[in-house]
Structure 1
Amino acid sequence: MLDRAKVRVVIVGGGMAGLSAAQHLYANGFKNVTLVEARDRLGGRIQTQIIGGKDLVEMGANWILGACAANPAFVLAKQNNIQLGRITELTGRWVVEDLWIKPDGTVIGANIVQRAMEEFRQILGQVSEKTKSLRVNPVGFIKVSFTLAIQDMSGADQRDALCIMRSMVNFLQVYDGGYLERSRGKGEPFNPLPGGAMCLPDGMQFLLDSLTKDLPSDSVQLNSQVVSIDWSDPECRVTCEGGRTHEADHVIISLPVGVLKQHRKKLFIPHLPAKKAEAINTVPMGKLNKIFLRWEKPFWEPGMGAIQLCWSDDDAEPLDWWRRIPSFLEVGPNVLLAMVSGEQAEHLESFCDQEILEKCSFLIRQFLRNPSIASPDQILVSRWCSDPYSRGSFIYQGTNVTEEILEELGSPLEEHRVLFAGEATVPWAYGKMHAARASGLREAERIIGLY
């Protein structure tokens, strides 16, 4: 049996999945591990940044869903004594005390907000079951059910409640990357793992640091975009831009599905088997972008919560990206967060930061009926759709996606010579950060089991 230290493993992609595989292999005696990453940084769709030189924000993944021993991301944080903070409200921070405001500046009364929230949450609990049995899309089911549930309210109160419902649907879209109407009714943000949700007050970067701290510096190669993976012979060859080639006994592919969709035909030599290619084509990528706005002197009082944008109708043009903003959420004493999902998230990326800043400033002044509110001093905008190394934000479970398809995505090729990891390859946690972590450990264990 070959000495583990001599087994050559190349890992393509330095996100949570790739780093988890590299760290686990190295800790188990595999010293000839090379991780190649196209970006100039590690982390993939985990990216902690600082805005205004002071405030920490997460451009991508920003919490651990399921704070329990079954969650490998949570276990990683606990093992490394990383500070965790509990998130008590996952559902868009829907609380009565927020400012629920219509475009004309009218603040909706607390009694209407309370009733709308109660009805919406009750309907939300039925979405998965009802949309499956009735074969209707989740958005349609929610809107029809909600309209029926508030029929006893007066005409004016009904209209206000419908405005609140639109804001809540906009936020639910965030969890399916803007395609809740095409999903299998999984729009609710609740994870099947117990324990609630946890954030990392000091940044998700600490999770990444815990994985890289013991890896030799020469085992990680940044700015190394892979152009071909030749698995036609027992010895695989991974070639990067510039012609540098790595020979390997095993290759772990941890690229996002969006990248595989775009490049699989020219990336793999020979082409991937038909079932693998079909699985890649079937699993859809969601689209979600974040807009962080920072003021040196905030216009709001500390603890405001959120400005919930309650649109008066559904007549938004497809390219009106701002109509997909559910709220401006207070995420720091000086910072508000807006999120945009779906096709509108992709369209958002065609605008420069200054144009986005000006539009958000206009919306805040419009809804608060206060033209004197100053524009933000800084802005950070994620652009995951046009990012060539992401091509989307995360996967969602479309109507054609089955557990078998997700398992096919994660199945190895040719006696474990080519293996696949990533958040799309774990059926029980698809699209989540801990799925990426679990998949990296899984593929590392496949290789460990051979030696």
Structure 2
Amino acid sequence: MSAAEHAAIRARLPVHEPDAGERAAFPLDATDHADLFLDLRNHLLRIWYRDCRCRVSSEVAVLHIPEPYHPLTRRILTFLEVNGAVNFGCIPLPPQADPPQKQTLGAGPGGCKHTAHVIVVGAGMAGLGAARHLRHLGFANVTVLEARPRVGGRVHTLREGLAPPVDFGAMLITGTEQNPLAVLGQDQLQLETVVCQDSCPLWDCSTGAPLDGVVDALAEKYYNTALAQAAHDGKAKPDAETLSLGEVFEVRLADKLHTEDVVPQQDLRRAVDWHVYNLEYGCAAGLHSVSLRHWDQDDPFGFEGDHVFVKGGLDQLVDGLAEGLDISLNRPVSAIHTPETGLCRVEYKAGPGRGTLTATADYVVLSVPLGVLQAGAIKFQPPLPPWKQEAVAALGNGNLNKIVLEWAEPFWGSESSFGLVRAAKSPLNPAPAPTDGTHMAAHGRRSCQRPQEPTPDRWRGAFFLFWNMIPVTGRPILIGMIPAPACDVLEGLPDAEVIAECTACLRSAFGGTAVPDPLRAHITRWREDPYARGAYSYVPVGASGAVYDTLAQAVHNRLFFAGEATS
């Protein structure tokens, strides 16, 4: 594979044909002269990925290109830049305009010049990325308003209270081959990363030993089979839009488990549940809340390559994006006005205990989390159109929390992670039984009754997985995961109770004398955070992945939306 072809793959573009966006932007060149178009496009991508720390200028772009093709080369470069395929991230910014000066961006109606000021609401990864990209595109007057006293949003590296920095929010770059975050962290900022190993040994809390190998293998087999069959049902069943992944998965799993007599049913079910909790970790919601048809709608957009931790904390990427931007902290926005004529107005608090101020702009980019929108924390005048309000309400706002614990010495192995298969605290999930008179027709089988949801257990799924932070921090630190739905319940419990339960789980797996009380512990509560109100989104029953596209659409071409729930 040539360097140019590899660059196209890194940019998530097809190597040997234009994608739909390119065909729309270059209808003649990308169709009648596709080979030339692709040669020029891949050539520009190769220049960019040769050194992502430097901007690809129009002068550099046309070097070694025959002069007749210079205009097309420059047009392709502009297209790639606008769409974030080149010249993005932490490369140096062009000069910022000095307020109240505004940059002339081009000819407006009638040929007159117009200026533009953009306010970005929210300094999380999306807001910072949007602001920085606007600056790269020539918008010299961009202001970022952030409610918190820090940038980063749900990327939050704790640098106080533990010996080394530890990520309380996002902590992994999930796939390094085509991931823009890998470009920022590894290529541009040249941060040291640690590869996350694939192996994840499971410990049985009922025996204090590694999970029995036969149980482990059977549980993984039955889980994967039931999930694959449920996924097939989601595509094949006409009523899949009204069903949850959890209820269909339970039916499919019951078909498998009731015939198994090699190992005790209770042991097998506990091991299967570990895999269920892992999926709920990924979904940020219990499987009975997640759409059967659309639960895996983002799978085709995953990135290839290793998953890596960033030594020193993921907030280093945030700081790299924030450098050189005009950012005002402690500025929670309360209202956005987008009149038909005139400037947009953004109302915000000027700091704790201070009054409300108003800023004006030509455009507003709103990059706050979905939970903030759903809570109505920001008022809109005029109100958002019904189609936008419906999209905000339709998407699921999931949650995920962590417990971070530090000891003087490790009592665990060297793997990147390990799991705990907890002893049963409540009856097994009940067999399928009618609950509301409705029926579910499993694909290729007779109709069967809708199964009940699992018996409530406030600790259900909590501490099922621990990340070993020694290779990342150099200290004996574990990060325990608390997925939905337990993460919401535990936010209302005192720290001492959560720490005690977590420590008891570890002792049941590794032995009471092997696990002392932790030296320090911290617990996240993302649902309680007024500027997050959750972790990340999911597609609930009755919704579809198209909601993400609707949330991303601008309103009147003046109010734009960015963030995790728009992509």
| TM-score normalised according to structure 2 size | 0.67
Q: Give the structure 2 partner of residue 289 of structure 1.
A: 401
Equivalent position SS for 1:321: coil
Q: Per-residue CA shift, 1:96-134, capped at 9, x if unaligned?
A: xx2431436465321221232233234434443223434
Q: 1:380 to 1:322 in 2, by over 3 A?
A: farther
The reply to whether residue 379 of structure 1 matches residue 521 of structure 2 is yes
Amino acid at match of 1:22: A
Task: Compute the displacement of 1:396 (Å).
Answer: 0.6
Q: CA deviation at 1:144?
A: 3.6
Name the counterpart of 1:131.
234
Cα 1:224–1:314 change in 2 (3 A) is: farther
Specify whether residues 152 and 188 from structure 1 end up closer, same or farther in structure 2 by C-alpha distance, changes over 3 A only: farther
Distance change in 2, residues 1:16/1:375 (3 Å) = same
Q: 1:81 aligns with which of 171, 187, 190?
A: 190
Alignment partner, residue 121 of structure 1: 224
Aligned residue type for 2:348: C
Q: Secondary structure at the match of 2:128?
A: helix
1:72 has 2:199 as partner: no
Instruction: Assess if the C-alpha contact under 8 Å between 1:37 and 1:221 holds in 2.
Output: yes
Residue 159 of structure 1 is matched in structure 2 by 266
How far off is 1:350 after superposition? Answer: 1.5
Distance 2:210 2:546 in 1: 48
Q: Answer with 1 or 2: which has the greater Rg.
A: 2
Cα offset for 1:198? Answer: 2.5
Give the structure 2 partner of residue 421 of structure 1.
Answer: 562
Note if contact 1:84-1:198 (Cα within 8 Å) is conserved in structure 2: no
- Gap change, CA 1:126 and 1:210, over 3 Å in 2: farther
Using the TM superposition, give the Cα deviation of residue 347 of structure 1 relative to its aligned residue in structure 2, in angstroms.
Answer: 1.8
Q: Which amino acid aligns with 2:565?
A: A
Match of residue 289 from structure 2: 182
| Equivalent position of 1:358 in the other structure | 500
* Number of residue pairs aligned between Structure 1 and Structure 2: 414
Deviation of 1:383 after TM superposition, in Å, equals: 0.8
In the alignment, is the contact (CA less than 8 A) between 1:309 and 1:327 conserved in 2?
Answer: no
- 1:204 pairs with 2:305: no
Distance 1:403 1:349, change over 3 A: closer
CA deviations 1:338-394 (Å, max 9, x no partner) are: 222224212211123222212212222234452563111111211110100011110
Amino acid at match of 1:76: L
- Per the alignment, residue 300 of structure 1 pairs with 412
Q: Percent identity, aligned pairs only?
A: 28
Q: Name the counterpart of 2:121.
A: 12
Cα distance between partner residues in 2 of 1:86 and 1:404: 33
What corresponds to 1:410 in structure 2?
A: 552
Matched-pair contact (CA < 8 Å) for 1:99–1:307: yes
Shift in alpha-carbon separation, 1:413–1:323, aligned structure 2, 3 A: closer
Change in 2 beyond 3 A, CA 1:338/1:112: same
Deviations 1:275-333 (A, max 9, x none): 11111011110011111111112333444842422343446864623653323443335
Give the SS at the match of 1:400: coil
User: Cα 1:18–1:387, aligned 2, differ >3 Å: closer, same or farther?
Assistant: same
Which residue does the alignment assign to 1:437?
none
Alignment of 1:4-403 (within 5 A): 4=105, 6-50=115-159, 53-69=162-178, 71-77=179-185, 78-89=187-198, 95=200, 98-103=201-206, 105=208, 107-134=210-237, 135=240, 136-150=243-257, 153-154=260-261, 156-185=263-292, 186=295, 192-202=301-311, 203-215=313-325, 219-232=326-339, 233-241=341-349, 242-263=355-376, 267-303=379-415, 305-312=417-424, 313-314=427-428, 318=456, 320-321=458-459, 323-332=461-470, 334-370=476-512, 373-403=515-545
SS in structure 2 of the partner of residue 383 of structure 1:
coil
Per mean C-alpha deviation after superposition, the further-off stretch among 314-323 and 136-145 is: 314-323
Show the counterpart of 1:429.
none
CA shift in 2, pair 1:314/1:330, >3 Å: farther
- Whole-Å Cα distance in 2 between the matches of residues 297 and 82 of structure 1? 27
Structure 1 contact 120–146 (Cα < 8 Å) conserved: yes
Q: In the aligned structure 2, how far is the partner of 1:166 from the partner of 1:304?
A: 21
Offset of residue 140 of structure 1 = 3.3
Distance 1:164 1:275, change over 3 A: same
Are 1:166 and 1:311, in contact at CA under 8 Å, matched by a contact in 2? Answer: no
Q: 1:127, 1:73 → 2: CA distance?
A: 33
Flag the 1:107–1:143 CA change in 2: closer, same or farther, 3 A. Answer: farther
1:244-286 CA distance string (max 9 Å, x none):
211100010001111011126x611121111111110111100
Partner amino acid, structure 1, of 2:232: E
Q: 1:349 to 1:371 in 2, by over 3 A?
A: same
Corresponding residue for 1:432?
A: none
Give the gaps of 5 or more residues in structure 1.
427-451
Residue 529 of structure 2 aligns with an amino acid whose one-letter code is D
Aligned-residue offset at 1:200: 3.4
Stretch deviating more after TM superposition (354-363 or 304-313): 304-313
Instruction: Please tell me whether residue 3 in structure 1 is matched to residue 104 in structure 2.
Output: yes
Post-superposition Cα deviations, 1:22-59, rounded to whole Å, max 9, x if no partner, equal 11112232221110000011011111224764344221
Letter in 2 for 1:237: R
The TM-score, its normalising length taken from structure 1, stands at: 0.83
Structure 1 pair 324/178, CA: closer, same or farther in 2 (3 Å)? farther
In 1, Cα distance between equivalents of 2:177 and 2:552: 24
Say if 2:527 and 2:534, in contact at 8 Å, map to a contact too.
yes
